[in-house]
């Protein structure tokens, strides 16, 4: 995809800061063309991702973990639907992390996460993740500060472990504005077929927007590493968000230098009768 450079401006440099306040959720510095052209490029990237995923699966050597985090209505579901459209469900798994069950709460917070990391040849997509344990947990004071604060180091170490053992990790924070969230929540109320997505709890969380912003700022700053970088994706425009995420994933997979496994020898003369 020679037309587009890697959207490096959205990567949080290791050591941070994420600097959310200065990042515009409606930014389009990565691609200034029209929406139609953007969608065309996204489609082409889609097809490329499809091929790369097949190669990943065929080679069975690398593992890819994709972490998605966002404020409510940030577009995690839509991103998964669009960006992975056309990939083979056999090699792609989505793990959604909701409120922990009593059994999960009876263990350390990574206990429920580790079983869902990708195996050889697989892509695992985390729809919410272990980051909730330094986000919602912090905002709601679900565990004391000295306890959640130590989690930044655990998370960095956990991701380091995964990376050392052969997992490529890429993390996306889908960055929407508070006004965009207002519009999306209102749309869920106004359109009958979207109402199922609305929860009154989302309004309570919205009132804590600033607290979540502080929590995200620190989480992204503390945990963006060379081996598990965070990208802050401008997400007010859905097509632009998809384009950026697709491009990062395609570049990430291309950098793995994958190849189809060698076929068995002497297949050229075989004729199947």
Which residues contribute to the site for ligand ATP (CB under 6 A)? 72, 76-77, 97-100, 128, 132-133, 136-137, 199
Q: Which is nearer to ligand ATP, 45 or 137 (CB)?
A: 137
Measured distance CA(100)–CA(167) in Å, rounded: 25
Measured distance CA(110)–CA(151) in Å, rounded: 10
CB of 231 to ligand ATP, least distance (A): 18
CB of 134 to ligand ATP, least distance (A): 9
* Residue 237 near residue 34 (C-beta atoms within 8 A): no
CB of 34 to ligand ATP, least distance (A): 29
Measured distance CA(208)–CA(244) in Å, rounded: 28
Q: Which is nearer to ligand ATP, 97 or 231 (CB)?
A: 97
Q: Which is nearer to ligand ATP, 58 or 143 (CB)?
A: 143
Q: Cis peptide leading into 17, omega within 30 of 0?
A: yes
Q: Which is nearer to ligand ATP, 122 or 132 (CB)?
A: 132
Query: CA triplet 81, 93, 244: central angle to 5 degrees?
Result: 45
CB of 44 to ligand ATP, least distance (A): 28
Which letter, b or e, does each residue of 75-108 get, where b requires 16 or more Cβ atoms within 10 Å of its Cβ?
Answer: bbeebbebbbeebeeebbebbebeebeeeeeeee
CB of 208 to ligand ATP, least distance (A): 11
Detail the DSSP E strand segments found in 56-199: 63-70, 92-96, 123-127, 167-175
DSSP assignment letter at 112 = T
Q: Which is nearer to ligand ATP, 57 or 97 (CB)?
A: 97
Name the residue with the smallest CB distance to ligand ATP.
Answer: 132
């Amino acid at each position: 995809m020679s037309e587009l450079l890697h959207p490096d401006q959205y990567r949080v440099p290791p050591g941070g800061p994420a600097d959310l306040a200065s990042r515009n959720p409606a930014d389009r510095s990565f691609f200034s063309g029209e929406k139609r052209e953007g969608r065309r490029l996204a489609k082409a990237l889609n097809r490329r991702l499809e091929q790369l995923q097949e190669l990943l699966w065929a080679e069975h050597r690398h593992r890819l973990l994709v972490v998605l985090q966002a404020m409510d209505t940030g577009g995690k579901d839509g991103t998964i639907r669009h960006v992975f459209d056309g990939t083979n469900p056999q090699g792609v798994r989505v793990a959604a992390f909701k409120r922990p069950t009593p059994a999960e709460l009876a263990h350390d917070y990574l206990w429920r996460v580790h079983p869902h990391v990708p195996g050889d040849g697989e892509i695992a997509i985390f729809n919410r993740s272990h980051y909730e344990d330094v986000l919602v947990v912090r905002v709601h004071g679900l565990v004391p500060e000295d306890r959640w604060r130590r989690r930044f180091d655990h998370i960095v170490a956990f991701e380091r472990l995964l990376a050392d053992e052969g997992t490529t990790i890429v993390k996306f924070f889908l960055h929407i504005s508070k006004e965009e969230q207002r519009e999306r929540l209102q749309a869920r109320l106004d359109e009958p077929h979207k109402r199922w997505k609305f929860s009154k709890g989302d309004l309570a969380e919205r009132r804590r927007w600033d607290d979540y912003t502080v929590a995200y700022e620190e989480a992204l700053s503390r945990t963006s590493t060379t081996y598990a970088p965070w990208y802050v994706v401008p997400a007010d425009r859905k097509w632009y968000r998809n384009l950026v995420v697709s491009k990062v994933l395609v570049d990430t997979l291309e950098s793995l230098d994958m190849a189809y496994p060698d076929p068995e020898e002497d297949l050229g003369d075989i004729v199947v009768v």
